[in-house]
Amino acid sequence: MDFYSIASGSSGNCIYVGTDRASVLIDAGISCKKITEALHGIDRSIRDLTGILVTHEHSDHIAGLGVLSRKAHIPVYATQATIRQILRYAPLGKVDEDLFHPIDADRPFFIGDMRIEAFHISHDAADPVAYRVESGNQAAAVATDMGCYNRYTLNHLRNLDVVLLEANHDENMLQAGPYPYPLKRRIMGEKGHLSNIACAMLLSQILHDHMKMAYLGHLSKTNNYADLAYATVMSELAMDPNCPYQEGDIPIHVASREHPMEQVRI
């Protein structure tokens, strides 16, 4: 199974997961042109895609969905409430409703040889989910846009080979930054976004000896930057008495907001 972060940030998100028999995007929040160019970089085409998994209806997760669906007629999977909101989003233009397939959290489904399970996350959207994708003995997950997590979240993030977790903001940058107070409260609230520290706390509970890669993703352009996110997470892991892992034990990288990362073969 291959994992390929095309873009992950507050201005656009798109992750590729593929096997020899199937390939999906998790979100399509950047332009169809950028997605096409990124897939060419790993010798893939939008015509090779067998599905698009949408986490929720916010524009940084669906901005490219309209053009992509019209060009390649790719099936789109999302919760029913999310589909309703997508179809009401005028900037997408006309989309074929027959391409949409409603899914339910905690009810696995298959695309080719990939077993896919959506699970609930806490965010201010209609019915947001994260995704866990398995093929054979391999597993990957993308979990962003969540203001908090709990034991349920952790259970869906166990025993992964690759994970992309949200490290959206530095708490001090957010509090001192230019956003209006109501927006700051939204971001820091239980239906907002995980901070760098919260990301570290979550990551410390799911790291294990056989994890091949962990990404810090969905960084805010205004309230975070890559070096700070990485340094904060590594510092928190080092100070956690219950976390046996130190820097270098498991590869941890910050997913780029704008550029594809190196493809990971699981």
For residues 114 and 19, the answer to whether their CB atoms sit within 8 Å is yes
Predicted local confidence at residue 230, as pLDDT: 98
CA separation for the pair 166, 149 (Å, rounded): 11
CA 82 to each of CA 8, 45, 77, 161, 262: distance values in angstroms, whole numbers, following the listed order: 20, 26, 10, 28, 30
- Residues 96, 57, 32, 199: is their CA dihedral positive or negative? negative
| pLDDT value at residue 262 | 95
Instruction: Write down all domains in the chain, each with its CATH number in brackets.
Output: 2-256 (3.60.15.10)
What is residue 246's predicted lDDT score, i.e. its pLDDT? 84
Structure tokens at 69: 């669906």
pLDDT band at 247 (very low <50, low <70, confident <90, very high): confident
Mean pLDDT of the chain, nearest integer: 97
How much is the average pLDDT of 117-145?
Answer: 98
* Residue 19 pLDDT: 97
What is the spatial distance between Cα 32 and Cα 67, in angstroms, rounded to a whole number? 6
**Helix and strand element counts for the chain (H, E):** 9, 14
- For 161, other C-beta atoms within 10 Å of its C-beta total 19
| Helix (H/G/I), strand (E/B), else coil: 164 | strand
Q: Are 114 and 93 in contact (CB under 8 A)?
A: no
Q: State the Cα angle at 1 between 209 and 51, rounded to 5°.
A: 130
Give helix 196-206 / helix 226-239 axis angle, nearest 10°: 50
What pLDDT, on a 0 to 100 scale, did the predictor assign at position 172? 97
Each residue's pLDDT tens digit, 101-120:
999 999 999 999 999 999 99
- Residues 229-235 have a mean pLDDT of 97
Residue 169 has pLDDT above 90, yes or no: yes
- Quick one: three-class SS letters along 58-112? CHHHHCCHHHHHHHHCCCEEEEHHHHHHHHCCHHHCCCCHHHEEEECCCCCEEEC
What's the pLDDT at 116?
98
The stretch 200-207 carries a mean pLDDT of: 97
What burial letters (b/e) apply to 57-85, b meaning 16+ CB within 10 Å? bbebbbbbbbbbbbebebbbbbbeebbeb
Average pLDDT over residues 130-138: 97
Structure tokens at 37: 């160019």
Residue 179's pLDDT band (cuts 50, 70, 90)? very high
89-101: pLDDT as tens digits: 999 999 999 999 9
CA distance 125 to 28: 16
Q: Please tell me the least confidently modeled range out of 116-120, 211-215, 241-245.
A: 241-245
Q: Residue 195 above 90 pLDDT?
A: yes
The answer to whether residue 170 scores a pLDDT higher than 90 is yes
Report the predicted TM-score, pTM, of the whole model to 2 decimal places. Answer: 0.97
Mean pLDDT (whole number) for 50-71: 97
Query: What pLDDT, in 10s, does the model give residues 183-192?
Result: 999 999 999 9
Give strand pairing partners of 5.
15
Report the percent of the chain where pLDDT is more than 90: 97
